[in-house]
Chain A
């Protein structure tokens, strides 16, 4: 971030403004000077100065305070330091009350000015960085970044736009890798809460007690290891959105706690007695069949009805194969840029392999496959050869390999996961990527089957 900050010095005494400007320029700032309030307002219309030094007493009808008020109308974020020759408590209070960030009496110690300016500029730098990051994030997750030409997906995009402005709870259902979090972010960043936090929590990744503390926070000493007070994700998301991924995996106790928060919009930190009010939009997601879980008695029906205000069901990739070429081309463009590969497209044969595959890991699996192909590709187009790692699977099925018939589905799943963890030497992230499922799902399976790592 090398952009130079611009400063405007407003003083009717030429020698005063010129010496001030010269001193600030030596510090690397771009400095303009004007001799009266009217000129300052004119300059402020043309340019967005980060900082204004304004003399309190100036002839010409507009004094320093009035100049500052006009500048703030044009640029509410601008910082103003009022300069005066006479220190009186009244003028200082008046200047600060009207919005001056600081107040200096001339002549002042160089250290005072230096510290003041560097402190204000430091905050400006952080504010700018924050704005850039927020814009980046919003761009990344905007509705139009969900690529699809499938009619069912277009209905979903319309629904996202409709619900983004509401506060209602949304339940997103879909298989692993279909982009549930992307949809949740699109809802958040398209709505009124876009400027506020979006906090994601994977409910399957943590044990019950840890998840409770993660969601609601805890007070110091509330349990062993709680060495200080900690804010929970609900508090952190205040004003914004909390995304509860894998909601179908939470324990009965947490289901009850969550229901209370959804109903009352109030919570207690673990070990705390003060009730905290939160304004949070809840978006939950799951790849489980929640109505079935309700029927089986493993998921509370009242919580299900609370969550199921608006439901978005994302179809698996195999049910919208028309999106495969579009998504594949998009991943080639994005990932080739990120990986620094000169690849621009996919050959017809390569695309055929992608179209014929069922993609159990959905869009995420497709993305991983493109990334892997890009890493090994030697040309400028991904060919069938680059996707050979996808073929043995398919070829094996037609060339004599028979699935075991003496194992249950769970046993097959357990052995595949165990083998994959062995291959990745216990690296869950890598194993999840190779299996085409997300990390939280893999953690869930590891827990379910008691697989040692």
Chain B
């Protein structure tokens, strides 16, 4: 059974982490396992931008032993960025093993509004399905309601559902049939990029 190992960097609401098990199972046949919380890597902090670099979190996730076929998902409450972009909701290795998602900008309180846990939960699930989808090999989808559509603002995330669209679901099945969801193929495909 392929697994998605979930690691929180710093404290993250357990309710949120519990919420992704079913959607991830339904979309990708991956069994979600929680791992111990880790501290946020110190070198991820960018003092100039007052944000954390998501690539450092990705690299940190990949350090250490894991079973073949396991995927890793890092979750954090801090705001993430990459050098080129002012922020990211998450980042993943395309056809790779690791992904990270930040809950910071999913919360209305980030924009000075009242916090809404139900909304954060919905947005978080959509983002997790999106980033894990990239590790499986899915690219952005043109269907707005599909979690794999590109979102550069929370309003776009709010248009997404929890379920992959038919097209992306078919692709996941194709990948599975072709064996690309096995660890061996994953390692081969990430090396070939």
- Which A residues form the contact surface with B (CB < 8 A)? 13, 15-16, 18-20, 22-23, 25-28, 83, 106-111, 113-114
Q: Tell me whether A109 and B94 are in contact (CB under 8 A).
A: no
Q: How far is the CB of B156 from chain A (nearest CB, A)?
A: 9
For window 35-93 of B, CB contacts with A under 8 Å fall at 49, 55, 81-88, 91-93
Q: Tell me whether A22 and B94 are in contact (CB under 8 A).
A: yes
Q: Tell me whether A26 and B134 are in contact (CB under 8 A).
A: yes
Q: How far is the CB of A239 from chain B (nearest CB, A)?
A: 36
The residue from B49, B82, B83, B153 contacting A111, defined by CB atoms under 8 A apart: B153
The residue from A23, A25, A27, A28 contacting B84, defined by CB atoms under 8 A apart: A23
The residue from B84, B91, B94 contacting A107, defined by CB atoms under 8 A apart: B84
Range, interface on chain B: 20 to 34
Main secondary structure of the interface of B (DSSP, over half): loop
Q: Specify which chain B residues have a CB less than 8 angstroms from the CB of A113 in the assembled complex.
A: 84-85
The residue from B55, B92, B140 contacting A19, defined by CB atoms under 8 A apart: B55
CA distance A15 to B55 in the complex (A): 9
Q: Quick one: given A26-B134, A28-B140, are A110 and B85 in contact (CB under 8 Å)?
A: yes
CA distance A27 to B134 in the complex (A): 10
Q: Specify which chain A residues have a CB less than 8 angstroms from the CB of B88 in the assembled complex.
A: 23, 110
Q: Specify which chain A residues have a CB less than 8 angstroms from the CB of B91 in the assembled complex.
A: 22-23
Q: Tell me whether A28 and B83 are in contact (CB under 8 A).
A: no
Q: Quick one: given A27-B139, A27-B150, are A108 and B86 in contact (CB under 8 Å)?
A: yes
The residue from B85, B93, B150, B193 contacting A109, defined by CB atoms under 8 A apart: B85
Q: Tell me whether B140 and A107 are in contact (CB under 8 A).
A: no
Q: Quick one: given A19-B55, A111-B153, A114-B150, are A26 and B83 in contact (CB under 8 Å)?
A: no
Q: Which of A13, A19, A111, A113 lies at the interface centre, i.e. has the most chain B CB atoms within 10 A of its CB?
A: A19
The residue from B84, B140, B152 contacting A16, defined by CB atoms under 8 A apart: B84
Q: Please name the residue on chain B nearest to A31 by beta carbon.
A: B193
Q: Please name the residue on chain B nearest to A109 by beta carbon.
A: B86
Tally of A-B Cβ pairs under 8 angstroms: 65
Q: Tell me whether B49 and A107 are in contact (CB under 8 A).
A: yes
Q: Please name the residue on chain A nearest to B139 by beta carbon.
A: A28
Q: Across the A-B interface, give the 6 residue pairs with the lowest CB-CB distance, nearest first.
A: A111-B152, A19-B82, A28-B139, A110-B152, A16-B83, A20-B84
Q: Specify which chain B residues have a CB less than 8 angstroms from the CB of A25 in the assembled complex.
A: 94, 139, 193
Q: Specify which chain B residues have a CB less than 8 angstroms from the CB of A114 in the assembled complex.
A: 150, 152
Q: Specify which chain A residues have a CB less than 8 angstroms from the CB of B153 in the assembled complex.
A: 111
CA distance A107 to B153 in the complex (A): 16
The residue from A27, A107, A109, A110 contacting B83, defined by CB atoms under 8 A apart: A107
CA distance A15 to B82 in the complex (A): 9
The residue from B49, B87, B139, B193 contacting A26, defined by CB atoms under 8 A apart: B139
The residue from A26, A83, A110 contacting B92, defined by CB atoms under 8 A apart: A26
Q: How far is the CB of B113 from chain A (nearest CB, A)?
A: 20
CA distance A100 to B87 in the complex (A): 25
Q: Which of B83, B94, B193 lies at the interface centre, i.e. has the most chain A CB atoms within 10 A of its CB?
A: B83
Q: Specify which chain B residues have a CB less than 8 angstroms from the CB of A15 in the assembled complex.
A: 55, 83
Q: Tell me whether B134 and A107 are in contact (CB under 8 A).
A: no
Q: Specify which chain B residues have a CB less than 8 angstroms from the CB of A28 in the assembled complex.
A: 139-140
Q: How far is the CB of B65 from chain A (nearest CB, A)?
A: 25
CA distance A13 to B85 in the complex (A): 14
Q: How far is the CB of B21 from chain A (nearest CB, A)?
A: 24
Q: Specify which chain A residues have a CB less than 8 angstroms from the CB of B83 in the assembled complex.
A: 13, 15-16, 19-20, 106-107
The residue from A16, A20, A26, A83 contacting B94, defined by CB atoms under 8 A apart: A26
Q: Tell me whether B152 and A19 are in contact (CB under 8 A).
A: no
Q: Specify which chain B residues have a CB less than 8 angstroms from the CB of A109 in the assembled complex.
A: 85-87, 152
CA distance A22 to B93 in the complex (A): 7
Q: How far is the CB of A371 from chain B (nearest CB, A)?
A: 38
Q: Specify which chain A residues have a CB less than 8 angstroms from the CB of B85 in the assembled complex.
A: 19, 23, 107-110, 113
1/0 per position for B134-147, CB-CB distance to A under 8 A? 10000110000000
Q: How far is the CB of B130 from chain A (nearest CB, A)?
A: 9
CA distance A25 to B189 in the complex (A): 14
